[in-house]
A and B are shown apart, each in its own frame.
Chain A
Amino acid sequence: KNEVEQSPQNLTAQEGEFITINCSYSVGISALHWLQQHPGGGIVSLFMLSSGKKKHGRLIATINIQEKHSSLHITASHPRDSAVYICAVSGNSGYALNFGKGTSLLVTP
């Protein structure tokens, strides 16, 4: 089973700060996913990466396949970014995701 580790576990930032959340995994993958879970529990898929970098609005996700590491960056953070951010990987055998435990982000005004 692929072990997925996220850091930090909890993060508090002031509005406008640049935020980085890290994810590392133990074995080869077919893709890495960044997910956002709001307090109500619903989960939204932010990015799916297999190499390089993707950008959507103020969110940027990068992955280094050789180092088995990915980062999620939030530029100009805003209180509405407060949520749990979850890293998950899909393995080469396919089908299911292995999840990290999530990073709880709180952005204060």
Chain B
Amino acid sequence: SQTIHQWPATLVQPVGSPLSLECTVEGTSNPNLYWYRQAAGRGLQLLFYSVGIGQISSEVPQNLSASRPQDRQFILSSKKLLLSDSGFYLCAWSAPWDTAYGYTFGSGTRLTVV
């Protein structure tokens, strides 16, 4: 069966520090991978999606970046965090052969930038 792992669960980082959040998927090949963010009091917002290794599309300009070094690994990074980067970050995957297939979400990372 397919599973998705996301870590860490919580993170407190000072302004200006780097960030690396990791997500891995098991039990499927060539998944579509997504990073979403939920800011306080707001809905989920797509940050990045990837349809294959090294293929990253960005939906929102920001100081974050994403990489997909392996088929089932998706990494969210920042060189210098801003206070506005605080929020709840979710990784998700969906089946590439059907864009209407159900999504599976990771457990999320709650990031607080101080």
Interface residues of A (CB under 8 A from B): 30-31, 33, 35, 41-45, 48, 50, 86, 88, 90, 94-102
Contact = CB atoms under 8 A, between A and B. Distances in A.
> Sorted from nearest, which 7 A-B pairs have the closest CB atoms?
A94-B99, A31-B100, A101-B43, A99-B44, A43-B105, A30-B100, A48-B102
Given A41-B108, A41-B110, A43-B90, A97 B102 contact: no
What is the interface of chain A mostly: helix, strand, loop, or mixed? strand
A91 to B, nearest CB: 9
Contact of B32 (A35, A41, A50, A95): A95
A40 to B, nearest CB: 8
Contacts of A94: 99-100
Interface of B: 32, 34, 36, 38, 42-46, 49, 51, 59, 88, 90, 94, 99-105, 107-108, 110
Contacts of B38: 41
B107 A42 contact: yes
Given A31-B100, A50-B100, A100 B43 contact: yes
A96 B59 contact: yes
Contacts, number: 56
Contacts of B90: 43
A94 B103 CA distance: 12
A30 B99 contact: yes
Contacts of A101: 42-43
Nearest to A6: B43
A96 B101 contact: no
Contact of B43 (A30, A90, A96, A99): A99
Contacts of A88: 44
Nearest to A100: B43
Given A94-B100, A97-B34, A97-B36, 10 more contacts: A31-B100, A41-B88, A44-B105, A48-B100, A48-B101, A95-B94, A97-B46, A98-B46, A99-B45, A101-B43
